[in-house]
């Protein structure tokens, strides 16, 4: 072993060395000091530039000069690290209050690199001078630099809480800091308030400082994260860009971003949005362009015509850095130790530091004032004894002898004794009324110019001495009184506030950050329209302005070809709509998610809105009540082609996945292609369900727990609603009012109703209808019609519902719902229409119709006709009906739709929630499309219409 060497283990050496390295990184590099809010590199830059004269009152100097001075004297690291720190202090989007005044290219918010240090110029910003003021008045301690050739300050005598105003971020060994910036005016106000009331609560402080204030602006969502950060030093703050939706062209909207979250790269953000659009993760964006200039930021995101800007904006918040979180970790060095501090802790630490600065500065100034006062006392004594002073000086061979002669002589203290008490000077000792001059006073006398011996100059000496006396007493008061020091601190903070206070840039919103898309949608009433070809859209109700009676209305849809509107309803933007497919699946969408379009637009295909629909077709669309508490009292009744029915609570469909939900279990082995869902309707206890089949049968039964119970789940195929004959299937479902009349009353009503209509039709038609009704009498023999009173007839007429039945042969009839008796569930049912070779082999649809509405008949070769239902005669159940559509050859009617008017009456009336399952329309006469020229389609001219 070498003499003088002590063996140690490698583990011990590694532990010791690593801890030393870690503490060096923590204290000397990565963490800011709570007192001046600066890291060593920033502190050295500011001090080095001050020492080199790069102050605000001097011209700009090359950045390379400042970097070289700092690197050569104070910071023994690479020039790039110094220049990067210097650049950041000159960037307005990085610092809430800039500390470096730069000239040239110092980068951009897009992440562009600054120009090389040989091209840029810089000097200290005015705000940074408040951090450096009084540094030469013994306010802070100095330490040797890395080679002990210079001295550098351990901390700057900051005049304002720079740590909170400009924030800081850094990663040390085993710890990190991330402090947000705050509004300088608010922080100084909070400091003043805390000086005045040291016991101030955090809640009171947050009334002054509501939260961080970032240099890039933006919106802070919620206050819980701010509260946590201010109280514990840790918290997460959600920041959102400031965006507006603007009309850029007549039919185009755009999202305009004016402010982005702190530390977000605008160029990277733009690229990220483009990537999401290419990946189809965000749809509805047609173009992105950056229109930012010197006047401010402007990032324009153009929206497609059929997209909802609010939804696109919320998707951008969710998938991009337009909304980001700032993790607050207020870790700083306090007395050389890393400490996690809240808002009040940081302010208290600054106040204590600033008080120490004032105290040390006052002591320094006091010593200077006393030295000056001591010198002035000697001058006063010399002026009072000027002849003796001149004699001594002239008699001395040199300056040293003259100084000793002045100090050796006893002088009369009558002139200076009061002055010594005035300035609290203990340098001269008065003994028996005599005093000796000190060396400093003797030197001052020897340096006295002859012009100071004039009377005016003697008065100036006395005045200066009085001023020094006042200053000394003020300094003694500051040193001896803490309230006086705090008063000085308040005055100085007020001066700083007047220089650096600026308006708040970041808005603080009470809205929670995890809001849904719906929260961005402005509430309002919409008119939703659906066409036969499966196009859907919504249009704001206010688009249809009020018109006087007799107006032409407004076009409600820009249809393609022979497409027609089959459904329209008013709904609130936040209202749910249920879609049911033939395959038994349920889909649910909010009204605001439906594509918004102008009254003349065609809308968007449902298959694009519901991609999981597949090859199925939508059989039912149900707008649900906006008040979800009503869902508990509403039920849904399902019907399938196989004749099964099922009743469920509407609340069972409260949670529907975006991919859809199995609404009813279907028998895939039934028929050739399996069972299918043919209809869904809302219902309540006591109403009636009517099922109609393809071969002309129907059944009507009441909804009750005995006949059709409420099923607990959705995985059931239901119960039998009607027993079908071979090759028959259910094709229509209707929910009717329960019939509160017996067989005799119904027969009596129908006779009286036919008699009433005789005046509106030909006598032959009326008599034929009466004969039909008397012959059917609900299929029950011996039924005698009851004669009804006028009141009872009017009551039944008011509640009468009319059903339209259309066959594939183009025939149709209207029948009173009173003609369909209520029976039990699961039976064979009763006749709905008599089918024959003349009127067709199958029923296409049976549906309730309202007075004044139209229906559209479509054939298998694409022809269609629009028929007002009022032109279809009301007859008995078993009639064959009248001709609605003259068909050719093997042509057959395949579908029937209720038609809503293309000219929607415009109104500004308040719209109530849409009635579940209701359709309102009005007719304007027969409109036939696709009929060959010369073809007569008037059913009144058809021969053999009646049974």
User: Is 947 within a domain?
Assistant: no
Please tell me the number of Cα atoms within 13 Å of 471 on its side-chain side: 18
Is residue 837 domain-shared with residue 795, that is, in the same domain?
no
pLDDT in tens, 626-637: 777 778 778 899
> Is 621's pLDDT higher than 80?
yes
* CA 887 vs CA 396, 844, 854, 857, 884: distances in Å: 145, 15, 19, 11, 9
Per-residue pLDDT tens for 200-216? 999 999 999 999 999 99
Distance between CA 427 and CA 253 in Å, rounded?
83
Cβ atoms 738, 702 nearer than 8 A: yes
Residues 767 and 837 grouped into a single domain: no
Same-domain status, 763 and 827:
no
> What does the buried/exposed string (b/e) look like for 396-411 if buried means 16 or more CB atoms within 10 Å of the residue's CB?
beeeeebbebbeeeeb
Would the pLDDT of 516 be above 80? no
For residue 478, being part of any structural domain is answered with: no
Q: Is residue 729 one of the residues assigned to a domain?
A: yes
Taking only the tens place, the pLDDT of each residue in 321-336 is 999 999 999 999 998 8
Judged by average pLDDT, the poorest of 75-89, 164-178, 195-209, 783-797 is 783-797
Question: Residue 664 domain-assigned?
Answer: yes
Of the given ranges (86-90, 268-272, 796-800), which has the lowest mean pLDDT? 796-800
pLDDT of residue 548: 40
* CATH number where 714 lies: 2.120.10.90
Higher pLDDT, 427 or 824: 824
Least confident of 228-237, 635-644, 789-798, 822-831: 789-798
Q: What angle do CA 827, 828, 834 make, to 5 degrees?
A: 145
- Strand 843-849 relative to strand 903-904: parallel, antiparallel, unpaired? unpaired
Is the pLDDT reported for residue 830 higher than 60? Answer: yes
Domain stop point among 110, 142, 157 = 157
| The predicted structure's pLDDT at residue 290 | 93
Q: Could you tell me the pLDDT band of residue 863, with boundaries at 50, 70 and 90? A: confident
Per the CB < 8 A criterion, the answer to whether 322 and 240 are in contact is yes
Catalytic residue among 74, 119, 317, 749: 119
Q: Supply 248's token pair.
A: 């850029």
Does residue 405 sit in the same domain as residue 379?
Answer: yes
Q: How many CB atoms lie within 10 A of CB 737?
A: 12
- The gap from C-alpha 935 to its chain's centroid, in whole angstroms, comes to 61
| β-bridge partners, 719 | 645
Same domain, 766 and 807: no
pLDDT tens-digit series, residues 904-942: 443 333 333 333 333 332 222 222 223 233 333 333 333
By the 8 A CB rule, do 96 and 180 touch? no
Q: Which residue has the higher pLDDT, 634 or 862?
A: 634
Of 116, 129, 113, 120, nearest to 61 by C-alpha is: 120
pLDDT band at 520 (very low <50, low <70, confident <90, very high): low
Collect all residues with Cβ–Cβ distance below 8 Å to 204 and sequence separation of at least 6: 193, 197
The string of pLDDT tens digits covering residues 131-164 is: 999 999 999 999 999 999 999 999 999 999 999 9
| CB distance 896 to 847 below 8 Å | yes
Instruction: Go through the chain and tell me how many residues it has.
Output: 947
For residue 568, tell me if it sits in a domain.
Answer: yes
Answer yes or no: do 389 and 453 share one domain: yes
Strands 688-693, 697-702: pairing kind: antiparallel
How far apart (Å, rounded) are the C-alpha atoms in residues 851 and 853?
A: 6
pTM > 0.85: yes or no: no
* Predicted pLDDT of residue 930: 30
Sign of CA dihedral 932, 934, 935, 937: positive
Co-location of 900 and 855 in the same domain: yes
Residue 352 banded pLDDT, cuts 50, 70, 90: very high
Concatenated DSSP letters of 35-98: TT---HHHHHHHHHHHHTT--TTS--EEHHHHHHHHHHHT--S-HHHHHHHHHHHT-TTT-SS-
Torsion sign over Cα 74, 78, 81, 85? positive
Q: For residues 679 and 697, is the Cβ–Cβ distance under 8 A?
A: no
Summary mean pLDDT of the chain: 83
Exposure pattern of 845-878 as b/e (b: 16+ CB <10 Å)? bbbbbbeebbbbbbbeeebbbbbbbbbbbbbbbb
**pLDDT tens, residue by residue, 281-311:** 888 899 999 999 888 899 999 998 878 888 8
pLDDT at residue 38 greater than cutoff 70: yes
**Do 581 and 713 lie in a common domain?**
yes
Main-chain dihedrals φ then ψ at residue 689, nearest 5 degrees:
-110, 135
Classified as helix, coil or strand, 596 is strand
Contacts of 677 (CB under 8 A, 6+ apart): 580, 581, 582, 583, 584, 619, 638, 639, 640, 641, 663, 664, 666
- Domain of residue 261 covers 242-321
- pLDDT digits 0-9 by tens, 669-702: 887 778 888 889 888 888 999 999 999 999 999 9
Question: What CATH number is attached to the domain comprising 266?
Answer: 3.30.1360.40
Boundary-marking domain end, from 473, 489, 509: 473
One-character DSSP codes across 772-817: HHHHHGGG-TT--PPPPPHHHHHHHHHT--EEEEEETTSEEEEEEG
Please state, as a whole number, how many other Cβ atoms lie within 10 Å of the Cβ of residue 10. Answer: 7
Conformational region of residue 284, where left means phi above 0, alpha means psi within -120 to 50, and beta covers everything else: left
Same domain for 296 and 410? no
Q: Is the pLDDT of residue 777 over 50?
A: no
501 lies in some domain:
no
* Whole-angstrom distance, CA of residue 635 vs CA of residue 650: 5
pLDDT at 418: 80
Residue 938: the pLDDT is 35
Whether 808 and 795 map to the same domain: the answer is no
What sign does the dihedral 101-104-106-108 (CA atoms) show? positive
Pick from 565, 410, 452, 520: which is nearest to 927 by CA?
565
Find out whether 586 and 598 touch, Cβ atoms under 8 Å: no
Give 99's pLDDT tier (boundaries 50, 70, 90).
very high
- How confident is the model at residue 464, as a pLDDT? 87
d(CA 457, CA 308): 85
Q: Are residues 433 and 539 in the same domain?
A: no
Q: Provide the pairing of β-strand 554-555 with 644-649.
A: unpaired
CATH classification at residue 380: 1.10.268.10
- What would the 3-class secondary structure string for 640-691 be? ECCCEEEEEEHHHHCCCCCCCEECCCCCCCCCCCCCCEEEEEEECCCCEEEE
Which of the pair, 395 or 630, is modelled with greater confidence? Answer: 395
Residues 603 and 662 in one domain: yes
Q: Calculate mean pLDDT across residues 507-513.
A: 79
Is residue 201 in a domain?
A: no
pLDDT given at position 768: 53
Cα separation, 462 vs 14, in Å, equals 69
From residue 623, how far is each of 526, 565, 568, 632, 643 by CA, in Å? 12, 17, 10, 15, 25
Of all residues in the chain, what percent carry a pLDDT higher than 90?
Answer: 42
Q: Looking at the 3D structure of the chain, how many domains does it have?
A: 5
Q: Which residue has the higher pLDDT, 569 or 297?
A: 297
State residue 125's pLDDT score: 96
What CATH number does the domain containing 123 carry?
3.90.199.10
Phi and psi angles of residue 459, each rounded to the nearest 5 degrees, phi first:
-65, -35
- Is 119 an annotated catalytic residue? yes
Reported confidence tier of residue 522, pLDDT bands at 50, 70, 90: low
Boundary-marking domain end, from 157, 187, 212: 157
User: 414 in a domain, yes or no?
Assistant: yes
DSSP calls for 495-549: HHHHHH-----SEEE-S-TT--GGGGSPP-EEEEEEETTSEEEEEEGGGS----T
């Amino acid at each position: 072993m070498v003499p003088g060497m002590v063996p140690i283990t490698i583990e011990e050496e590694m532990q010791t060395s690593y801890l030393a390295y870690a503490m060096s990184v923590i204290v000397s590099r990565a963490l800011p000091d709570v007192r001046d809010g600066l890291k060593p590199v920033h502190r050295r830059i500011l001090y080095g530039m001050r020492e080199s004269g790069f102050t605000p009152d001097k011209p700009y100097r090359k950045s390379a000069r400042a970097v070289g001075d700092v690197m050569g004297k104070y910071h023994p690291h690479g020039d790039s690290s110094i220049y990067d720190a210097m650049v950041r202090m000159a960037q307005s989007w990085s610092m809430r209050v800039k500390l470096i005044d730069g000239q040239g290219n110092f980068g951009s918010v897009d992440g562009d690199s600054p120009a090389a240090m040989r091209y840029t110029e810089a000097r200290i910003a005015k705000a940074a001078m408040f951090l450096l003021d009084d540094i030469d008045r013994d306010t802070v301690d100095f330490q040797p630099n890395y080679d002990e050739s210079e001295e550098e300050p351990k901390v700057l005598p900051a005049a304002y809480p720079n740590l909170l105003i400009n924030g800081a971020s850094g990663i040390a060994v085993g710890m990190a800091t991330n402090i947000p910036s705050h509004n300088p005016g608010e922080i100084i106000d909070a400091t003043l308030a805390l000086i005045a009331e040291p016991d101030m609560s955090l809640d009171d402080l947050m009334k002054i400082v509501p939260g961080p204030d970032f240099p890039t602006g933006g919106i802070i969502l919620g206050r819980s994260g701010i509260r946590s950060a201010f109280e514990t030093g840790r918290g997460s703050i959600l920041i959102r860009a400031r965006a507006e939706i603007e009309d850029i062209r007549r039919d185009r909207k755009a999202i305009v971003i004016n402010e982005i979250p702190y530390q977000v790269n605008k160029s990277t953000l733009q690229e990220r949005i483009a990537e999401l659009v290419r990946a189809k993760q965000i749809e509805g964006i047609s173009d992105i362009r950056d229109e930012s200039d010197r006047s401010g930021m402007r990032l324009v995101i153009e929206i497609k015509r059929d997209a909802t800007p609010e939804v696109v904006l919320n998707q951008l918040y969710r998938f991009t850095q337009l909304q980001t979180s700032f993790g607050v970790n207020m870790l700083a060095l306090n007395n050389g130790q890393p400490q996690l501090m809240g808002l009040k802790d940081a302010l208290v630490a600054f106040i204590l530091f600033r008080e120490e600065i004032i105290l040390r500065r006052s002591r320094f100034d006091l010593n200077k004032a006393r030295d000056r006062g001591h010198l002035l006392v000697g001058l006063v004594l010399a002026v009072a004894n000027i002849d003796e002073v001149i004699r001594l000086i002239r008699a001395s061979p040199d300056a040293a002898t003259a100084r000793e002669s002045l100090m050796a002589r006893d002088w009369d203290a009558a002139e200076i004794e009061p002055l010594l008490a005035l300035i609290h000077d203990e340098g001269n000792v008065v003994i028996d009324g005599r005093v000796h001059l000190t060396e400093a006073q003797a030197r001052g006398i020897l340096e006295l110019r002859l012009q100071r011996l004039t009377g005016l100059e003697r008065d100036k000496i006395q005045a200066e001495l009085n001023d020094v006396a006042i200053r000394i007493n003020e300094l003694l008061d500051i040193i001896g009184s803490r309230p006086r020091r705090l008063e000085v601190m308040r005055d100085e903070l007020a001066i700083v506030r007047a220089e650096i206070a600026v308006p708040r840039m970041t808005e603080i919103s009470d809205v929670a950050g995890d809001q849904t898309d719906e929260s961005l949608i402005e509430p309002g009433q919409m008119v939703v329209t659906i066409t036969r070809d499966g196009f859907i859209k919504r249009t704001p109700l206010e688009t249809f302005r009020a018109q006087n009676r007799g107006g032409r209305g407004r076009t409600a849809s820009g249809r393609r070809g022979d497409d027609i509107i089959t459904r329209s309803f008013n709904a609130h933007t936040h209202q749910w709509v249920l879609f049911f497919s033939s395959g038994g699946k349920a889909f649910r969408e909010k009204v605001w998610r439906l594509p918004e379009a102008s009254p003349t637009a065609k809308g968007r295909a449902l298959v694009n809105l519901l991609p999981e629909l597949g090859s199925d077709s939508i059989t039912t669309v149900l707008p649900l009540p906006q008040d979800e508490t009503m869902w508990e009292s509403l039920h849904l009744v399902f019907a399938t082609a196989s004749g099964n029915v099922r009743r469920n609570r509407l609340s069972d469909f409260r949670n529907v996945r975006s991919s859809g939900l199995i609404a009813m279990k279907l028998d895939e082995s039934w028929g050739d292609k399996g069972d299918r869902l043919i209809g869904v309707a809302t219902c309540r206890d006591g109403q009636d369900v009517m099922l109609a089949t393809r071969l002309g049968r129907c059944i009507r039964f009441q909804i009750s727990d005995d006949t059709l119970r409420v099923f607990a789940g959705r995985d059931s195929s239901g119960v039998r609603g009607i027993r079908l004959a071979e090759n028959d299937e259910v094709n229509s479902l209707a929910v009717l009012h329960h019939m509160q009349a017996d067989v005799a009353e119904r027969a009596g009503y129908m006779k009286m109703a036919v008699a009433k209509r005789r005046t509106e039709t030909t006598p032959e038609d009326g008599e034929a209808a009466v004969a039909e009704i008397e012959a059917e009498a609900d299929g029950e023999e011996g039924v005698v019609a009851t004669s009804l009173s006028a009141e009872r007839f009017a009551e039944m007429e008011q509640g009468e519902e009319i059903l339209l039945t259309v066959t594939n042969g183009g025939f149709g009839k209207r029948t009173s719902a009173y003609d369909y008796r209520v029976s039990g569930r699961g039976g064979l049912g009763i006749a709905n229409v008599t089918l024959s070779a003349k009127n067709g082999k199958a029923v296409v649809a049976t549906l309730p119709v309202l007075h004044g509405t139209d229906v559209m008949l479509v054939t298998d070769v694409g022809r269609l006709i629009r028929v007002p239902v009022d032109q279809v005669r009301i007859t008995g159940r078993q009639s064959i009906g009248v001709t609605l559509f003259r068909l050719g050859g093997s042509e057959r009617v395949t579908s029937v739709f209720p038609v809503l008017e293309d000219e929607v009456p415009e109104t500004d009336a308040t719209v109530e929630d849409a009635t579940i399952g209701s359709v309102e329309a009005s007719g304007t006469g027969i409109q036939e499309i696709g009929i060959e020229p010369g073809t007569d389609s008037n059913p009144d001219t058809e021969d053999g219409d009646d049974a």
